[in-house]
Amino acid sequence: MCRIGKAWAAGEERWMAAFMVEGGYPLYGSQRVSGAKNAALPILAAALICPGQVRLYDCPRLRDVENMLAILRELGADYRWETDGTLWLDMAATSAYTMPQRISKEIRSSIFMLGPLLARFGRAVCTYPGGCEIGNRPIDLHLSGLNALGVSIREQGGLILCDGSHMQGAEIHLDYPSVGATENIMMAAVAAQGETYIRNAAREPETEDLQSFLNALGCDVTGAGTSNIRVRGGTTAKSTAEHTIMPDRIVAGTLLCGAAITGGEVELHNVRPQHMGSMLSKLRETGCKIDCREDAILLRGPERLQEIKLIETLPYPGFPTDMQAQFFALATVAQGACMIVENVFENRFKHGPELMRMGAVYTQKDRTAVIRGVEG
């Protein structure tokens, strides 16, 4: 049982919003999964490429999304949420290519604006992005990829000034399959003359969703979801487009973990099981019974979760780093010991000490944590 209320933050001498959770209740029921935040954010940025109107269905209404919309409005765009949850965007009046510094510093995904601004205006000015503190998340791959397209980049007064008035297609090999860099290069390359090939591209399903949206705009992008993406640049964007945001595999995985931990039973709708292979495999290791259909997943949790020996976070199709904390929590009440190796970010075990306050038992060295399950 969960309620939203207020709690006193003693160190800061103020009241703060808080979730108050009463344990001991298995999760049961049916839930439709929302659109994916990690797909929506780059697609909102890509809407800048459109000179007219865009309709997005199933766009999650979250703080990061609202911050991205605030940036778009500062750039001259207009938007409104319709009663059915559809997001309507009017990009016709967009004329600015300098992103607002205050909002941009609050959200990591503001960096996604670089590629679309270059595609539409040939110029972009931004600040270094903010976001959650889960380790070093440099934007070097974004900038080096854009530079390979012919974008001139310089720093002045804490701002990144980009001139892409003469972008040319190129063959770009990423040193690491960064999702953000892959998507930024895809969006900029639609305006580059000639063809661009992105090698060692990120394979996450969200890149496929971005490809679908770009193609709905009239762009020519193929290969997303593989390690090699081709963008044929120089196409003229359509004046209108619409797109349905893909389901959120991280939200789905989190709900499944909740049911597994509590020994419950949940049925999820609007999901794509084919995008969740690594998560479902680990849940089956714990003894969960899982039935997958085309767009639905039914999970029944066991009385006591069995041991998961090893979880290693990796780029897709490996185990997602965004599910590491949820499986860490699961391992605290499972049988045996579980080793979790965090290969993506170097500072992503901050939940460990908080779980220890609740009775969790674990040890950590660098990027590896070993969790020993206790009776729930």
Instruction: Give the chain's domains with CATH numbers.
Output: 37-244 (3.65.10.10), 247-372 (3.65.10.10)
Q: What phi and psi, each to the nearest 5 degrees, are found at residue 363?
A: -125, 155
- Of 50, 59, 132, 288, which one is the catalytic site residue? 132
Q: What is the pLDDT along the chain (376 residues), one digit of tens a residue?
A: 666 566 656 555 566 778 888 888 999 999 999 999 999 999 999 999 999 999 999 999 999 999 999 999 999 999 999 999 999 999 999 999 999 988 888 888 999 999 999 999 999 999 888 654 444 557 899 999 999 999 999 999 888 999 999 999 999 999 999 999 999 999 999 999 999 999 999 999 999 999 999 999 999 999 999 999 999 999 999 999 999 999 999 999 999 999 999 999 999 999 999 999 999 999 999 999 999 999 999 999 999 999 999 999 999 999 999 999 999 999 999 999 999 999 999 889 999 999 999 999 999 999 999 999 998 6
Q: Whole-angstrom Cα distance, residue 272 to residue 269?
A: 9
- Residue 132 among the catalytic residues: yes
Q: Whole-angstrom Cα distance, residue 332 to residue 185?
A: 40
Residues in contact with 297: Cβ distance below 8 Å, sequence separation at least 6, in sequence order: 252, 256, 267, 268, 271, 273, 276, 280, 290, 291
Exposure of 158 by Cβ count < 10 A (0-12 exposed, 13-18 middle, 19+ buried)? exposed
